[in-house]
């Protein structure tokens, strides 16, 4: 067993088959169920992509209408979730609040365990509908503001702005947000999705899988990076200052948030699409200086390390320009990725085998247990 090769971080390990998304790093391409993600981003609304991930095909107009109706009518939170929001400390991390809320919703769902695929899909649509309400409600109570109830006449993206700010921005801003949701929706066996599949593989319940996935996404090496990107960019007053800082940081071997990717070595397929929308937002809303800082850092990291930005790099500043609080960027990632996670939970269950890898033992060799008084 000692000669067994260890694949640290499961790098390069193909753990299962999946029909949900395909990442082709050499082509810098990403497909959701066969459709190029840039086409989905340009031509679809997030709801259509959510349907595609959950059902396997793009919806017809009638299917989309029925799906939207189902989502829209479940946006309200029940009293237990409102009560939870009153209980949790106002300085609790929004990701912790979201994780706890999903856990509560699961504990209160009488049919949480042993569900068939249709039931899981129904629960997934329920969470998809409620997560934005939780994120917006939590944000408002942290600022001492009143809860704004969801509106059924608004799209998924519009309604989120409405609940968060009390108003819906112009269509270009909404479209940029919608594109970010489409790009965040699914990405094969990333850490949080794999977590959801591991939990599902034990035949645990749907909500446990999602709660675990939220915990995995929170970390700064994964979804937490979109917040860290903005925390990095925000303090600089000029591109020169940013350039100097990033050179020093790289010399200290510090990791630059929003750069690098396990799968993409030549660049993240989603970045050019998102970056286009981020730049348009910057022009429109007057954030050229922020983008100059953004470009300066990117230039240095690419030149000096040959490491390219990942999706979190253009998304961080886009969310900043939209006015979202930095600590809610990763929760926004959750309200999109719930679709990919749920598709993977269903796929795992449809053809399940418990996920249980091996480890190579490197601890002390065999020895006898000494009596208590003979130790030390």
Residue placing its CB nearer to ligand CMC in the complex, 210 or 225? 225
DSSP class of residue 3 equals: T
Longest dimension (CA), the chain: 77
Instruction: Write the CB contacts of 66 (distance below 8 Å, at least 6 apart in sequence).
Output: none
Q: Which residue is at the shortest CB distance from ligand CMC?
A: 260
Structure tokens belonging to residue 15? 């753990």
State which H helix or E strand residue 32 sits in. Answer: strand 29-32
Residue placing its CB nearer to ligand CMC in the complex, 159 or 192? 192
Instruction: Using DSSP, state whether 218 is helix, strand or coil.
Output: helix
Q: Does 306 bind ligand CMC (CB under 6 A)?
A: no
* Active-site residue, 187 included: no
Among 255, 267, 326, 355, binds ligand CMC (CB under 6 A): 255
Among 33, 99, 197, 261, binds ligand CMC (CB under 6 A): 261
By CB under 6 A, the count of residues binding ligand CMC is 19
Give CA–CA dist 157/71, Å, rounded. 12
Among 94, 132, 258, 317, binds ligand CMC (CB under 6 A): 258
Q: Does 276 bind ligand CMC (CB under 6 A)?
A: no
Give CA–CA dist 122/288, Å, rounded. 43
Q: CB of residue 157 vs ligand CMC: minimum separation in angstroms?
A: 20
Give CA–CA dist 275/96, Å, rounded. 29
Residue placing its CB nearer to ligand CMC in the complex, 93 or 115? 93
Q: Which of the ranges 92-100, 136-144, 165-173, 310-318 carries the binding residues for ligand CMC, by CB under 6 A?
A: 310-318
* Active-site residue, 261 included: yes
Among 225, 246, 346, 349, binds ligand CMC (CB under 6 A): 225
Give CA–CA dist 257/313, Å, rounded. 8
Residue placing its CB nearer to ligand CMC in the complex, 175 or 255? 255
Map the footprint of ligand CMC across residues 162-221, applying CB under 6 A: 190, 221
Is-contact 327 138, C-beta < 8 A?
no
Structure tokens belonging to residue 118? 């249709």
Q: Does 242 bind ligand CMC (CB under 6 A)?
A: no
Among 93, 115, 154, 307, binds ligand CMC (CB under 6 A): 307
Which is catalytic among the residues 205, 268, 312, 344? 312
Q: CB of residue 195 vs ligand CMC: minimum separation in angstroms?
A: 12
Q: Does 310 bind ligand CMC (CB under 6 A)?
A: yes
Number of H helices, E strands in the chain: 16, 3
CA distance to 49, 51, 53, per residue, from 336 (Å):
10, 12, 11
Percent of the chain that is helix, strand, coil (3-state, to 5): 60, 5, 35
Name residue, tokens 């190029």.
36
Q: CB of residue 89 vs ligand CMC: minimum separation in angstroms?
A: 26
Which is catalytic among the residues 38, 162, 187, 261? 261
Structure tokens belonging to residue 59? 């919806």
> Which chain residues interact with ligand CMC by CB under 6 A?
9, 190, 221-223, 225, 255-262, 305, 307, 310-312
**Residues with catalytic annotation?**
261, 312
């Amino acid at each position: 067993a000692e000669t067994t090769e260890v694949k640290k971080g499961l790098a390069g390990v193909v753990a299962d088959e999946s029909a949900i998304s395909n990442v082709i790093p050499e082509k810098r391409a990403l497909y959701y169920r066969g459709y190029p993600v840039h086409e989905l981003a340009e031509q679809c609304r997030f709801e259509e992509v959510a349907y595609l991930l959950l059902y396997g095909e793009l919806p017809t107009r009638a299917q989309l209408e029925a799906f939207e109706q189902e989502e829209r009518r479940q946006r309200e939170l029940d009293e237990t979730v409102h009560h939870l929001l009153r209980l949790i400390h106002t300085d609790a991390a929004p990701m912790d609040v979201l994780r706890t809320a999903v856990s509560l919703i699961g504990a209160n769902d009488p049919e949480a365990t042993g569900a068939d695929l249709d039931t899981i899909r129904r629960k997934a649509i329920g969470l998809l509908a409620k997560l934005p309400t939780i994120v917006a409600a939590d944000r408002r109570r942290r600022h001492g503001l009143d809860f704004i109830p969801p509106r059924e006449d608004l799209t998924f993206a519009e309604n989120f702005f409405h609940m968060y700010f009390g108003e819906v921005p112009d269509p270009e801003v909404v479209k940029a947000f919608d594109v970010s949701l489409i790009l965040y929706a699914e990405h094969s066996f990333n850490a949080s999705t794999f977590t959801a599949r591991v939990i599902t593989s034990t035949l645990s319940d749907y909500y446990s899988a999602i709660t675990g996935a939220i915990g995995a996404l929170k970390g700064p090496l994964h979804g937490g990076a979109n917040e860290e990107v903005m925390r990095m960019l925000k303090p600089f007053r000029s591109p020169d200052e940013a350039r100097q800082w990033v050179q020093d940081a790289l010399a200290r071997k510090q990791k630059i948030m929003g750069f690098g990717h396990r799968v993409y070595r030549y660049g993240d397929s989603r970045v050019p699409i998102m970056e286009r929308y981020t730049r348009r937002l910057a022009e429109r809303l007057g954030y050229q200086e922020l983008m100059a800082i953004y470009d300066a850092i990117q230039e240095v990291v690419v030149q000096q390390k040959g490491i390219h930005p990942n999706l979190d790099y253009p998304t961080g500043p886009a969310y900043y320009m939209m006015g979202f609080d930095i600590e809610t960027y990763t929760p926004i990632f959750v309200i999109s990725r719930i679709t990919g996670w749920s598709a993977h939970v269903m796929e795992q269950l449809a053809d399940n085998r418990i996920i249980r890898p091996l480890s190579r033992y490197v601890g002390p060799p065999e020895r006898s247990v000494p009596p208590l008084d003979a130790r030390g």
